[in-house]
Structure 1
Amino acid sequence: MQEQPLISIITTYYNSVQLGDFVKSSMKCLQNQTYQNIELICVNDGSTDSTLEDLEYFAKQDSRIKIYTKENQKYAQYSKAYGQEKALGEFIFLFDHDDLIDFDTIEKCYQTFLAHPELDIVTPIVITKFTDGNIKNIHNIYSENTLNKEFEYKQFSGKQLIKDTVGKYDIHIRGLYKSFVFKSHSFNFTEPLLNADEIVERLILEEATLVGSCDAVYTHYIHPDSSAKLLSLKKIDITRTDYLLRRIFKEKGIYEPRKSIFEFVAYKNLVNAIKIFHHFAKKMSSEEKSAQKKRLLESYIELDKETVKSQFSGISKLYNSLLLSNFSLMLWFYKFKN
C-alpha cells in the first residue's frame, strides 16, 4: 500500500484566545482530520494572551503540531511567509484560525488529486457565514446559489481564474496546493501592506496549470469584531494595493476586459482611504501625514478618471466629475464631509 504523502496545514495565530477561543476550535477540526499524515504548522505571531500556552497544551498531546513563535511585525503577510518557509509537506493547505473545515476536508482534497493528477490546486466548497449562522455566499470556485444541488466537479486554469480577480473576486478558493506552486511566490512581499496577501495569492494562483474542486467543505466566518472590520490607518494600504495590482494586471494583459470594474472599486477605496486619513490626521506625525498624503496622491494620479466618470449619470456624474477633477479638492471635500 502506497504511503500517504505529508500534508502541511499552516495556521497563523495572533491573540486567538482573546478574539474567540480560536485555538481550541481550530485544533478540534485539524487534529480530527481523517487524513492522518499531516503536520500542523502553527505560527504564533507574537500573541500577548494565552494563545501560546493553549498551543503548547495541544502540542504535548500530538507530535504533528509544530509551534513557531515570532515577533509580531504588524502585518499578517510575514507570519504566513514564516509558515510557508517551515512547511515540509508535498501538499500545503492554508487555514485561518477562526474558520472551520469538515473532518474529511483534507482527505477529499487529496483524493481529488489522485483522481485528477493534472491539478495543481484542489479547493473545497467554500461557505461564507456570519457568526449568527446566516450564509452570505457559497462558492464551488465560482458562486453557487444553493448547497442543496448535487455537487458538480469543476476545473479551470490558474490563468483564467486570475482574470476573474481583476477589480473584485468572482472566485473563492481555499485550496490544497502542490508545494512547489504554493511556494512559487513568498508571502514576504516587497513592502508591508495590510492586504499584501491578496497580491501574492493571485501570483500563486497564476502558477497553477489547473485548479479543480471537490465536495469537501471549508467554512469561512465573517466576525463583526475582526480586525478587518475595525477602523484603522492601515486601511489606506488598500489604495497602494490597487496601485500595484493595476500595474501587475496591465503587465499580464488582463486589465482591459475588466477595467471598468477595477477602476470603480479603486475609486471607492480611494474615497474611503481619504476619509480614514482625515479621521487619524490629528494622531499622525507631520512625517507620517506627508507620507500617507503622498500615497493617496499617487493613487489619485493612477486612477483612470474617465472610466470612473463613465459609470455615473445625472447629478451623480456631475458631482463625482467635479471631485475627480482635482486631488486637493477631493481631499478638502472629504475633510468636511467625513
Structure 2
Amino acid sequence: MSDQLILDICTNMQALPLISIITTYYNSVQLGDFVRSSMNCLLNQTYSNIEFICVNDGSTDPTLDDLEYFAKQDSRIKIYTKENQRYAQYSKAYGQDKATGEFIFLFDHDDLIDLDTIEKCYQTFLAHPELDIVSPIVITKFTDGKIKNTHNIYQSDLKKFEFKKFTGSQIMKDTVGRYDNHIRGLYRKNVFKSHSYRFTEPLLNGDEIVERLILEEARFVGSCDAVYTHYIHSDSSSKLISPKKIDFVRTDYLLRKLFQEKGIYDNRHPIFEFTAYKNLVNAIKIFHHFSKDMSAEEYSKQMIRLQGSYVELDKKTVISQFKGFAKVYNAFLLSSFSLLFTFYKYKK
C-alpha cells in the first residue's frame, strides 16, 4: 500500500464524525454468548470512526473476560465496569455519560445489525440534515427465526423500502398506551443526551419514560434501509416473572401524568387506560405470587402502588371497551379495589 493511499485513508477517517455505539452487558456469556455475537457485527461495520462504549453491568460470568479479549484486538473498544444496580436504566445512563461521539447508537447485546447499518444511518443524515434521529428497518424475530413484525418506523410489510420522516412529537404521541412505532436509531448527540436514563426513581421500564422525552426533543425522525434485528428470547430476564414487573403500574401512573401535561393523552386515552388495566391485573397476580417473600416494607410499598394505579384508572373508559358478559364481568371486578385484588388472589 502506497504512502499516499495510507494518507488518504487516514484523512478520510478524520473527516468522518465520531459515532458512539453504547452496549450494556450483564452475564451476556451465560445468557447466550452475546459478547461474541454482538462484537462480530459491531467491529465489522463498514463505517470506521466508531468508539464502542461497552458497559459491563456487574456481570458474574466471563462477560468481562470476553470483552477484554476483543478490546486487545481493537483499540476502539472502551470497557467500563460498574456495580450492578438491578435496573438497566443505570447502565444505559452510564454509557450515555461516557459517549463522546457526534452521533450515538444504543445497541442491545442480544441483537444484531447489518454490517452497513451505521454507514447507511450516517449517509441518511447527510442527505436529510433536518433529521435528529435515523432509524434502520427494525425486524423483530423469535429465536427460531420466525418474524414477529417489521417496522419502517411504523409497522410495514416492506415489499419495497420507502424513506419515511415524522416529527419527534408525532412519534411520541403515537406511543400513548402502546408503541405504534419501533425505533432503534442513530441520534444526534445533543438529542440523545437531552434526558438522562438515570431516571428519578428505579423502574424496570423507566427507560420507556426517558425514551419518550428524548423523542420529543427530535425535530424529525427519518428511516433508512439498513437493518436492525431485534430478538425475542423466551428465557430472557425481561420475560421471566419477577416482582419488579409490578413497576409497570408505577410507570403507567407517571406516564399518564406526563401525557396529560403534554396535552397528548385525550386522543388515545382509551388505548392507554385499557393497557393500564391489563398491567394492573398482571401486577396484582405477580404481587400475590411473591407477597409471602416480601418484607413488610416492600409489601406496603407495592400495595400503595397497586391501590394508586386503581384509583387513577379511568374505569368507565375501560369498561366501555368490553361487550356483553365481559362488560358485566369487568364492571363487577372494577367496582372496588378490594374485590379486584381478592379475585386475582384465588383465580388461577
Q: Same fold (TM over 0.5)?
A: yes
Deviation of 1:286 (Å): 1.9
**Whole-angstrom distance in 1 between the partners of 2:242 and 2:202:** 15
From 70, 83, 91, the counterpart of 1:71: 83
Deviation of 1:236 (Å): 0.2
Q: Equivalent residue for 1:91?
A: 103
Q: Equivalent residue for 2:24?
A: 12
Alignment of 1:22-41 (within 5 A): 22-41=34-53
* Runs of 4+ with deviation above 6 angstroms: none
Alignment of 1:97-108 (within 5 A): 97-108=109-120
Q: What secondary structure sits across from 2:110 in the alignment?
A: coil
Deviation of 1:291 (Å): 1.0
Q: What secondary structure sits across from 2:197 in the alignment?
A: coil
Q: Which amino acid aligns with 1:157?
A: T
Deviation of 1:18 (Å): 0.1
Q: Which amino acid aligns with 2:227?
A: V
Q: Equivalent residue for 1:194?
A: 204
**Whole-angstrom distance in 2 between the partners of 1:154 and 1:330:** 44
Name the TM-score, length of structure 2 as normaliser. 0.96
Q: Equivalent residue for 1:241?
A: 251
Q: Equivalent residue for 1:122?
A: 134
Q: What secondary structure sits across from 2:90 in the alignment?
A: helix
Deviation of 1:315 (Å): 1.1
Deviation of 1:4 (Å): 0.1
Q: What secondary structure sits across from 2:222 in the alignment?
A: strand
Q: Percent identity?
A: 78
Deviation of 1:84 (Å): 0.1
Q: Equivalent residue for 1:131?
A: 143
Deviation of 1:314 (Å): 1.4
Name the TM-score, length of structure 1 as normaliser. 0.99
Deviation of 1:324 (Å): 0.8
Q: What secondary structure sits across from 2:108 in the alignment?
A: coil
Deviation per CA, 1:242-266: give whole Å up to 9, x if none.
Answer: 0000000000000000000000000
Alignment of 1:1-338 (within 5 A): 3-145=15-157, 147=158, 149-338=159-348
**Whole-angstrom distance in 1 between the partners of 2:26 and 2:298:** 26
Q: Which amino acid aligns with 1:219?
A: T
**Whole-angstrom distance in 2 between the partners of 1:136 and 1:271:** 25
Q: What secondary structure sits across from 1:139 in the alignment?
A: strand
Structure 1, gaps ≥5 residues long: none
Deviation of 1:318 (Å): 1.1
Deviation of 1:285 (Å): 1.5
**Whole-angstrom distance in 2 between the partners of 1:210 and 1:301:** 37
Q: Which amino acid aligns with 2:132?
A: D
**Whole-angstrom distance in 1 between the partners of 2:275 and 2:189:** 33
**Whole-angstrom distance in 2 between the partners of 1:214 and 1:134:** 23
Q: What secondary structure sits across from 1:265 in the alignment?
A: helix
Deviation per CA, 1:83-126: give whole Å up to 9, x if none.
Answer: 00000000000000000000000000000000001100000000
Q: Which amino acid aligns with 1:320?
A: N
**Whole-angstrom distance in 2 between the partners of 1:8 and 1:287:** 41
Q: What secondary structure sits across from 1:205 in the alignment?
A: helix
Q: Which moved more, 1:277-286 or 1:28-37?
A: 277-286
Deviation per CA, 1:40-91: give whole Å up to 9, x if none.
Answer: 0000000000000000000011000000000000000000000000000000
Deviation per CA, 1:167-187: give whole Å up to 9, x if none.
Answer: 000000000000000000000
